[in-house]
Every structure is written in C-alpha cells, then in structure tokens.
A and B are shown apart, each in its own frame.
Chain A
Amino acid sequence: MALSTLGNHSVTTTAVERAILGKGSDSKGLIFKLLVGSSIAFALLVLVVLLFDVVTGAWPVLTGRGADFLSSDLRSRASESGVFQPLRGTFWIGVFVVVFSFPVGIGAAIYLEEYAGDNVFTRFIDLNIRNLAGVPSVVYGILGFSIFVKFFDGFFPNSVGQHAGKTTAAAGITLAVLALPIVIITASEAIRAVPQALREGGYGVGATKSQVVRTQVLPYAAPGILTGTLLSLARALGEAAPLILVGAVQDKLGGRTGFFDFAQFGEQFKALPITITNFAGRPGDDWQEVTAAAIVVLLVLVLMANTAAILLRNRFEKKRG
C-alpha cells in the first residue's frame, strides 16, 4: 500500500490538489466559508449603520456648535443644552477606575498567578472572581449605594441638602469595584500566557521570585494586561444602571464647578450615559440631534481610552521583540 502510493507520487499529488483546490470539490467547506464570511459582514454592517446614523444625526450640532456644546449644561432648549457636567463626571469616574481598580486588580492577579498555590481555596477564589465579573451592574449600584454613599454621607458637608454621599467619589469607587473582577481576570490570563521558560531562565541566573516577577513576567505580560484593563475602563465609562442607584442627577444639576476642580468629588454628579438617556427621552428632532451628539462625545471618550490601550500595547510588544 505504502509502496504503491510512493510509486504513484505524481498521480496522488494531482488527486489531492484537485480535492482541495478543484471547483465544486469542497462544497461544504465553501458553505462554511460563506457563513463565517457573512457573520463578519453582518457585524461590520451593524456597526457601520450605527455609527453612520449617530454621526449624521449629530453632525448639525457638532459642526454648528462645537465647543459650545461641550461647555454648556442641560437647559430647557435643546439648542442651548450641552454635555459639560456629564462629560466632567464620566471623565473623573474613569480616573477613579484607573487609579483604584488597575493597581489593586493587577496586584491581585500577580498574587493569584505567581504566589498563591494551586489548592481548593485559590480555585474557590478564582471561581468567585469569575462569577463577580458576570454579576449584573445594577447589583454593584446597590452595593455602591449601601456602602460607599453611606460612607461618604459622613465625609462631606451636607451642602446640597441631598443625600450628601451621592458624589462623584462614591460613583467612581463603585465603578472601580465593578471593573475590578474584569481587571483581575484579564491580567491573570495575560500573566498565565508568559512562557514558563522565561521564569526558569530568571531563576537560573539567581534571581529571586520578586525579581523574576518584576523583570521577566510583568514586562512580558504588560501588553495583555493593558488591553484587558483599558477595555474594562471602556465598559465602566458606558455604565448607567449603577450610577442611577448611586444618585447621578438626571435632570438639572446646579453649580459651575470647573473641569479640574477637585471640589466636585464631594458634589453630586452627572454622567454621559444617563444624560444620553435623558436627552433621548425628550420629544422633538432637535433633542434627537443633541442626543446623537452626546453619544458621539461618549464614543470619542471611549475610543480615546481604547487608542491609548492599542498604542501602549504596540509599544510593549515592540520592546518584547
């Protein structure tokens, strides 16, 4: 059998070539290719239609008002309304997520992957973190209200008469907690993907465990960690449900606190996703345009975070060689 195959070498080659490349020879494969191809086409089409719809809707506001739209607050008339307060709120909530959940999350991932042994207890923790990542965001809102808002109630002077703890700080920490499990999971995956040989090489030249982690594992895992963490930031920026529970103002928020004024941490806040909902619920074409413009602002903010992730990843990957 083997001999005869060898003997008919050229005949076999042609037969195989025909089977793989010939017309109509692999109709099932062709259908499969078409199916997966149309899947990507559908996904892209939805995205393009969505973006086109939003951007064309927003165009009159963005070109006609530009900076004015970004610097004014909600008013009775759509033509005077803007997104200054919600943009400020969402930006600082993002900063809270970066400052609180990134270091803690990456730290936890390093511990789980490099230090903790593989036993029932750590597997139990691992399972729980994965479950936490799937908990509906509203639940985090309830947590934020019952813990952080109550905590900050005692912290800030009761200047507005409202629940004094319904502040930017409480919202930021709530979303940081929401992002935490996702940060831990993605960072863990990235650390797990580091080749074992790299660690062994480190030990081989006499490095201690912490030296290996800092000089070998982390730099190698950095691109993956970054991608995951910044994607979780993008998710946090788009959250609305928990913020409603933590007390985001849906209608009119008073005050003219500046963009970089830290006093806002102790004040009530607005956030872009909630403002978009509020705008969208108002009747009339002019409000629909303002809604679309606010969506574009949120998209740009999220895109900037993602661009930062991609740029950093490319940089680290280049270094890694």
Chain B
Amino acid sequence: MGVDLQYFIEGLTTAFHPMNILWVLIGGFLGTVVGMLPGLGPATAVAVLIPITFGMDPTSALILMAAIYYGAMYGGSRSSILLNTPGDGSAIAATFDGYPMTRNGQAGQALTISAIASLIGGIFAIIGFILLAKPLASFALRFGPAEYFMLFLFTLSAIVSLSKGNMVKGFIAMSIGLMLSTVGIDLQTGVHRFTFGIPQLSEGIDFLVVIIGVYAVGEVLYNYLNLDRLQNKNKLGKIGITREQWKRSKWPIIRNGPIGFLIGVLPGAGGSIASMLSYTTERQLSKHPEEFGKGAVEGVAAPESSNNAASVGSFIPLLTMGIPGSGTTAVILGAVIMLGMRPGPLLFEESPEMVWTLVNSMFLGNILLVAINVLLIGLLVKILSTPPRILYPLILVLAFIGTYTLSYSIIDFYVLVIFGIFGLFMKLLKFPIAPLILAVIVGSDMEQNFRKSLVAHDNLSSILFASPVTIVLLILTVLSVSYPFILSAIQKKRANKSA
C-alpha cells in the first residue's frame, strides 16, 4: 500500500474537524483515567461506552474508541509508577523501574519520561502504520501455531532471565503461573480441567484478576504489615527530566517503538508481551544492567514506548483483514459492526478516507495525550501524600470494583483475595512476580498453540525448526537463558586473569 496523498489530506481535514478533536480529547481523557484504575482496562472502557456510539457516525465512533485504547496505554502506567499496582498486563513492566524511581523521590520525572516515551513510541508506530500496514499484515499471517509457541516461549525465557542470581525462584514462579493457566475448558478436547464444577471457572482464571490480586491487594497487605514504619518519604521530585536522563532514555525509546509496533501487529501477542520484551532487551543492551530494577530511567522509557506502539500496531490486522489483534480491538470490532461498518480486507479500498482519518486522529491524539498527562502529573502525585490509612483501603475498593467489572461474578472476589495473600507471600519470600503473571497471560495460548502445532508437525524437533522465524526465536530463547551464565563465566575468567 502506498500512501495516497489525496486521501491522507482528506483524512487530515476530517480528523481536525472540531467534533472529532473533541472525541479524541474525551476518549483520551477517559482512557487515561480508566487505565489508571486497577482492572479497568481499555477493553472494559470501550465495552461500557458501546451504547453511546450507537447514534454516532462510524468514523467518529472509531476515533473515540481508538483514543480510549491508547489513552489507557498512557494511563495504565500511572498507577504502576506511583503505587506499584499496574492497571493492565501491558503496564506491568512499568512497575519494574517506575516504582523504584518513585521511592527514590523521582516520581515526577518517571511520569514525564513515560509520557514522552509513549508519545515517541506512538508516533513511530503511526508512521509505520502509514508506510507498512499491508506488507506487515501479510507477514503476520505467516505466524502459525509453531511460531506463536516459540514467541511465547522466548518471552517467558526472557522474563525468567531477568531474575538474575535467582533464576530458580523465577522458574518456580513461572511454573506456578503455567499451572494456573491450565484451569478451564481445554479448547482442543473440550475437557474441563481443575474447574471443580464451578461454571465460572470454565473459562479459566482471568489474568487480570491475578494481576490485581498479586499486585494491588498484595501490595496493600504488604504495606499493612509495615504500616507503622511507613512514612511519606515518597516525594514528587522534579517534573522536568534532566539532560542526563534524556540521554540515557533517548535510544531505548527509539529502539523499542518499532519492537512494540511489530509485536502489536501479530494477532495474539499484544501490549503485555511487547513491553516485557522491550524491558528485557534494554536490560541486556544496557551498559549498567545493575541499575535496572532500582530506578533506571531507561527501564521506564523502553516498555512505555513499546506498549503504546503495540496498541497502534494492533489496529493493522483489524483494519486490513478484519481480524482483531487484541482483546480491545475485538470489542471495537464488535462495536463498529453494529454501526454498519465492516472492517475487513476491503476497508482500505472501499473507505480509505476513514482509515486515514483514524490514522491522523491517532497522531493528534498522541500529542494531546502527552499534554493531558503532563498536566495531570501535579494532581496525580498528590496520591503520594495521601496518608496510607486512607490510600490503601481506597486501592482495595478499586481492586474489587475492577474485578467485578471483568465478568460480573462474585467467585472472582475469592480468587482475588487468594491471589492477594499469595502475592503477599511472594513479596515476603522475595519471589519475582513478573514470571508468574506473564505465564498466566501467555500460558493458555502457548499450550494451545503447542498442541495445534503437534497436529500440524508430528514431533517436537519439527516444531522447533518449522520455519526461519522459529529458528531465530529458538536461538534467542537459548541465548536469553544462557546469557547470564555466559556473562558471569566471562567475568570470572577476567577476574581470575587480573588476579
């Protein structure tokens, strides 16, 4: 697909229609707010707003829903950074260094860098969209069961390798996550696994409940144990970032925009995987990996750039093939069909002006969102000066509300509390949480793809070597697990030599 200048300009003028600018603003703001709340992600926000879009022009409805989506990508990391309670899977990576930055009194700077990184990542992805939408869509099609299995395997191995020095604990956490992901109906056979006759469990344990439980509830419980020692030492710090910080984040932001974008294009990957992979990539490339996890500014910048780019990328399969690339785009697809529009392979030919309007509105929306988010920083950090005795009960309330909105079921409350206690013990015993969560997110897809690829390929080795893509992913997987060992072996040798 080349860029048709006429449609591009037409789209630009429609996007700048005052009404559409208003929708971008409303959507962006709503998305930011909803993204901040634990459990209320973009998919829920869009779903709740579907009745409002009924009377709207389809283009405006699409603009509004897209704005909510990437708005939530901006907002999602706010609570990760300030409270260590991510609102969604794609905001988890922001806790790794964002929360330590807050503890170091750099909350304002962490929020600023995350907004800037999101902007640049988003812009990269939009440019990628304009130039590469069609070829990328056909590339994504080549990802079959074997390729997805290897991608998920690589992501898991990368995240386990993060828990350097404590890989055993990382593996244990991951294994528990994989076990949890087997709960529910097995798609390939229809057998109920570990559902104990509870119909609510037949669809599996929603990974968002696990996230809210382990992070939000676990964090509250953990802080409750330390309530007497807890003081408000978290200061806002400066909002403006220093030249040194910019220098350190510049390349991570630029590198990870494209990474996130490409992963977003794959239907079935998405923001969580994009941001996690970006974080691990940056850490391995970094000259001072020891600072990661202790408040390294690039550890905030990289995943933020990546997950926003992924949200833009996930529109490619939707708009070029009518296939939703993420949970949120699936809801958006349902909504626009109700409006009489059918995003599909013909959309680009039949209503190009609509696609270009959307793309241009994303451009505009990203810029507006940075403004919204930077302006909100002053207000947001007030959270930090809220006394813990008020703040933590509030987080608990939000956690329960967020959980209820996922499937309107009381059973999830029990699951939430169980995982809250579980999360508390993980924190007390110093188990890494990320491998557990990621395993819950990808576990079921990974297993189903493995089983499907067994039908297609007969045995394990032909899965591993099914295509160039799987071979590259296999090499990366082996490297990511062995890299820390190789590194320490080299260091030992050097130390021996110098000694």
A and B part of one assembly: no
